[in-house]
Amino acid sequence: MLIGREDECARIERLLDDARRGASGALVVHGEAGIGKTALLRHAVDRAGSMTIAIATGIEAEAELEYSALMEVCRPLLEHASELPEHQAAALQGALGLGPAVERDRFGVGAATLGLLAAAAEERPLLVAVDDAQWIDTASADAPGLMRAGATPPRAPARR
Ligand SMILES: Nc1ncnc2c1ncn2[C@@H]1O[C@H](COP(=O)(O)OP(=O)(O)O)[C@@H](O)[C@H]1O
Ligand SMILES: [Mg+2]
């Protein structure tokens, strides 16, 4: 039970409802440590019901580990890799260490990420939840769709 977070929870509910109706959106929660950001994120995941859920958590010690966060997000969506153009699938699988290493292709990886998210969302509404985004490795943070939220001005500051 989240105490005193009615407004924030209502905001999350709206975002999820919008997603179920086919409208995409992003919500950034920021605030000092311990204020309840992770709790709100878990609440969003709990309320996502039958949506497809992809979660990544930024970990300070893994901030240098290229594409570690992207791997987390893509893992539950990889069944859709076959829907991507071949070179994009190869770029993504290479970057994630799931296929032969390919020449570094950030654009291809980005396009593939976007394609994967779109393909998953086509099938069912999709929630991508990123916790502690400040520690996401920079390669993953470059991938569109994954960290677009991080570049959006904060809309729901957590206050106590
Ligand atoms: N609104 C709330 N009501 C009750 N407990 C809360 C609330 N927000 C956070 N907590 C609890 O406070 C602690 C810190 O919250 P957490 O979400 O981990 O903070 P943050 O991610 O911002 O560092 C956790 O034990 C969490 O369950
Ligand atoms: Mg936290």
Kindly give the distance from the C-alpha atom of residue 34 to the centroid of ligand 1, in angstroms, as a whole number: 6
> CA 17 to CA 56: how far, in whole Å?
22
Residue 58 near residue 135, CB atoms below 8 Å: yes
Amino acid 152: pLDDT: 43
Residue 23 in contact with residue 30, Cβ under 8 Å?
A: no
Between the CA of 43 and the centroid of ligand 2 the distance, in Å, is 12
Task: Output the CA 40–ligand 1 centroid distance in Å.
Answer: 8
Give yes or no for residue 159 having a pLDDT over 80. Answer: no
Closest ligand by atom to 31 CA: 1
User: Which spans in 21-105 are helix H?
Assistant: 37-47, 68-74, 86-95
**Nearest to residue 118, comparing CAs of 74, 68, 160?**
74
pLDDT for residue 160 = 56
Span 42-63, pLDDT tens digits = 999 999 999 999 999 999 998 8
Instruction: Give me ligand 2 centre to Cα 153, in Å.
Output: 19
User: Does the beta carbon of 119 sit less than 6 angstroms from any atom of ligand 1?
Assistant: no
Mean pLDDT of 135-160: 64
Residue 153 CB less than 6 A away from ligand 1: no
Q: What is the pTM (predicted TM-score) of this model?
A: 0.88
d(CA 18, CA 157): 20
* Any ligand 1 atom below 6 A from CB of 4: yes
Q: Is the pLDDT of residue 142 over 90?
A: no
Share of the chain above pLDDT 90, in %: 77
**pLDDT tens digits, one per residue of 77-129:** 999 999 999 999 999 999 999 998 888 788 899 999 999 999 999 999 999 99
Atom of ligand 1 nearest to the CA of 5: 1
- Model pLDDT, residue 151: 43
DSSP 36: S
Residue 146, pLDDT > 80, answer no
pLDDT of residue 106: 85
- DSSP notation for 98-129: SS------HHHHHHHHHHHHHHHHHHS-EEEE
**Mean pLDDT across the chain, nearest whole number?**
89
Please name each of the domains of the chain with its CATH number: 6-151 (3.40.50)
